Amino acid sequence: MFNIEELIKKIKSYNPLANFDLIRKSFDYGFNAHKGQYRASGEIYFTHPVEVANIVIDLKLDEATIITALLHDTVEDTDSSLNQLERVFGKEISQLVDGVTKLTNLELSSLETKHAENFRKLFMAMSKDLRVLLIKLADRLHNMRTIKALPINKQIRKSKETMEIFAPLAGRMGMQFMREELEDLSFRVLNSEARNSIIRRFITLRKETDDLVPKIIDDIQQQLKKENINARVTGREKKPYSIWRKMQYKKEGFTRLSDIFAFRIVTKNEIDAYIAMGSVHRRWRAVPGKFKDYISHPKSNGYRSIHTTVSGRDGKRVEVQIRTDEMDEVAESGVAAHWSYRDGERVKNPFVVDPFKWLRGLSDGFIKSDNPSEFFEHVKLEMFQDQVFCFTPKGEVIKLPRGATPIDFAYAIHTRIGDSCVGSMVDGQRVPLWTKLKNGQSVSIIRSEAQKPQSSWENMVYTGRAKTAIRRKLREEKRKENIRIGKEIARVSFEKVGKKVTDKALQTAAKKLVINNVDDLLASLGSVELTGDELIKTLYPKKITGLTIQNFGERKLSFVGLEPNQQANTASCCKPVPGERIVGIAQKQKGIIIHAIDCDNLQNLDNNSRNWLDLSWPNGDVQNSHPTSLTISMYNGVGVLGRICSLIGERGANITNIDFVDRKPDFYSIIIEIHVKDLKHLSDIMTSVEADSDIAVVVRTREVLETSSNQNPRILSNY
C-alpha cells in the first residue's frame, strides 16, 4: 500500500504548491475511519481509496479531487457524516464526496425504466461537477483491477455494467487509456476464452516476427531524423478487446486484421505533425481509405490527431497516430485535462474542451426529458458510437455517430428540417433515406412542408435526437388522428339519439367521466378507449334503452330449428349476420355455436353429423345490431377518414373500432368494426363506401381462426 509520503512525492512533481497539510490530514482521517474494515480480497480496506487517489494523481488533478478520492467511501461505509467532512475539510470537499456517494448508490446495469431514471440522475450529478465522475471512474477502474476477489455472479454483473456504461463514458470523455483498460478488464471476465486466444496469438506472432514493435519504432525514428523532426515515437500491440471487436465487426480472423499494432508520433507543434505524416507516407505505402485528420476536424470531446495506416516492415500493416504534445495530453486525459496542473498552476491547454459544454452537448435537452428510457437510449447511442463528419451545402460540419443516415443529418441541423425531409442528395447524387453516411460526404436535404415523419423512419435513424423527435411527432399525429375520428364518432352517436353534438355537451361529458378536457375525450373515442354508447349514456342515460351494443364474440340468440327455450351463441370467427345461411355446431363445453355456412373454420370442427344443426335466423327484428368488420384501403388525404365514418353513420350503422393495419405515405389500410342489421344493410354500406373516389378496396373481413392445443388462435385469411 502507498504511504502518504509516496503520494505527496508524486503530487509535488506536478503541483508543488498544493496544500500538503490538508492532503495528509485527509489521508489520516480516511485511514482511521476505515480502520477494521477489509476488502473481499482480505486487504485492508483503505488500500482502495489510496489506489483511487493514485489514479487521480496520475491524471495530475487538483488537491480537492485527490482529497475526495481518499475520502470518497467514508460517508457510505463509515460513521462519518457530510456535516463532519464540511467542518474538517470545507464545503467543496463535502459536496464532491456527497456526489460520489450518490453515484455509488445508483444501480446502472439494467435497461429498465427505474435504472434509466438513475442514469439520468448520474448525468445531473455530473452537470454540477464533472470531477465527481472522474473519481467514480477511478473508483471503478481499481475495483475492476481487483474484481477476481468477488463471487463470479458479481464479477459478471459489474463487468457488464462497466462495459455498458463506464467504459463508453470514459471514451466519450476522451480518456482513452481508461476506456481501453476498463474494456479489457471486463472482457477478461465476460469472455476469458476469447481474450486468452488473442493473447496466445500475439505470443505466437512475436516468436514468428522476432517482436516487430521495437523494429518499427526504430524505422520511424530513422525516417523522422531525415526530415530533422524532433518527436517522441512509441508503439504497442492493441488491447485484446480492441482486436476482438474488430474481428467481430469485420468478420475476419486474427491473421487478416490490418492494424493490430499502433504507433504514435508526438511532435512539438502542428507543422511538424503534418511534415511527419508526409515523411511516413513517403517511406511506406499508405493504405487507401485508412486516413483520418482529426486535427482539422476534432472530435467533440477535444480529441485531435492524424490517423493513417501504412504497409510497414515486411508488409505488415500498422496504424500510426501523429499529434502534438498538447494534443496527446488531451487524447490521454480527455476532459480531465481541464483540471490538470503543471508546476503548481492549472494547465492552459488550448485543445481542452470545456467539460460543461461537452456535457450539454452529450445530453442536449434530455436531462429534462419526460421519458427516462428515451434519454437512456439517446445517451448510450451517443457514447458508444465513433463519429463521422459530413458537410452541409454551405460547408458547415455536422458530427454524427457511425451508421447515421440522411434523416439523422436532417434532425442534427434542426427538428423542423428532419420533420419535413422527403429525400436527400449525397455528393450530388440522390440516395435513399436509409443510406449510411461516410466521412467527408456533402449532404443536402430535400424538404416539403407537407411531409410528416413516417413510422418506418424510426428503424432508419441512429441518433437519439432523431429517434426522440420522430416518436414525439408520431405521438402528436396519432393524437390528432384520434381526435378527428373521435369527433366523427361523437357526431354519429349524438345523432342516433336525436341530439346535436356541442362543445358544451362534450365539456360536460368530460367532467363527468373525469377526463381532463374535450380533446382528451375525443382522443379516447378515436382510440376506442371510450365508446360512443358510453358517451351518450353519460349525458342521456334514458336514451339508451333495450339491447345495447355488445362485444364481438359469442351472443346468446334464439334461432329457428332449436328446441323450445334452447339458445345458441354466434361464432366470433365468421361473425354471421341475418340473411346469411347458417349452421349450428353442438359442442360439449361451449354448447351450440352458430357459424356462417361458408366459414373456413367448419372444416376443423366435429365431423359427427349428429352435432350439426340446420338452422335459420328468427323472423322479425329480434336483434337490430350484429357485429362485422370491413377492410378498407383508402387514400391518405385530409378528411377522407371522416367522410367514410359519416357515410357509415348516415346509413344507420355504428362504428365500434378502427384499427390501422398498414400505413403508407399515400394509402392507409384500416379494419373498421361496425354493427349492422343484416346482410342487405351491410351490402348497402359497402356499396356506398366503395363509391367514394378516394377508396381503392372495400372487403368484408372474416377473422377465420385456427386453433390447436399448442397454439393461440391466429388470423388465417380475409375474404
List the catalytic residues. Answer: 76-77
192 in helix, strand or coil?
helix
Paired with 569 in beta bridges are 556, 593
Q: Which cell is 496 given?
A: 342516433
Burial of 402 per CB tally in 10 Å (0-12, 13-18, 19+): middle
List helix spans (H) across 251-324: 270-283
On whether the CB atoms of residues 422 and 478 are closer than 8 A, the answer is: no
Location of C-alpha cell 456527497: 98
What residues have CB less than 8 Å from 273, skipping those under 6 apart?
265, 267, 295, 306, 322, 323, 324, 327
What residues contact 151, with CB distance under 8 A and at least 6 apart?
none
Helices (H), 191-264: 192-209, 212-226, 240-250
At residue 351's C-alpha, the angle toward residues 347 and 354, to 5°, is 80
Query: How many Cα neighbours within 13 Å face the side chain of 400?
Result: 31
> Are β-strands 654-663 and 667-676 bridged in parallel, bridged antiparallel, or unpaired?
antiparallel
First to last CA, the chain: 80
Report how far residue 135's alpha carbon sits from residue 96's, in angstroms, rounded to the nearest whole number: 9
Kindly give the pairing relationship between strand 568-570 and strand 591-596. Answer: parallel
Return the beta strands (E) in 55-209 as ranges.
none
Strand, coil or helix: 644: helix
Secondary structure class of 326 (helix, strand, coil): helix
Q: What share of the chain is helix, strand, coil (3-state, %, to 5)?
A: 50, 20, 30
> Does residue 697 contact residue 686 with C-beta atoms inside 8 Å?
no
Please, which residues bridge with residue 672 across strands? Answer: 630, 658
Supply φ then ψ for residue 570, to 5 degrees.
-75, 145
At 212, phi and psi to the nearest 5? -70, -30
Cβ burial of 105 (10 Å; 0-12, 13-18, 19+) is: exposed
Task: Tell me how many degrees the CA angle 620-621-622 measures, rounded to the nearest 5.
Answer: 100
Residues in the chain: 719
Residue 545 identity? T
* Cα angle: 89, vertex 95, 97; to 5 degrees: 80
CA angle 132, 133, 134 (to 5 degrees): 95
Chain centre distance of CA 415: 18
Q: Which stretches of 268-384 are DSSP H helices?
A: 270-283, 325-333, 355-363, 372-384
Residues 6 or more apart whose Cβ sits within 8 Å of residue 676: 577, 625, 626, 628, 653, 682, 685
Within a 10 A sphere around the Cβ of 527, how many other Cβ atoms?
Answer: 17
Closest to 46 (Cα-Cα) out of 73, 11, 25, 86: 73
Q: Which of 571, 569, 554, 581 is nearest to 705 (CA)?
A: 571
CA distance 650 to 676: 12
Tell me the backbone φ, ψ of residue 668, rounded to 5 degrees: -115, 145
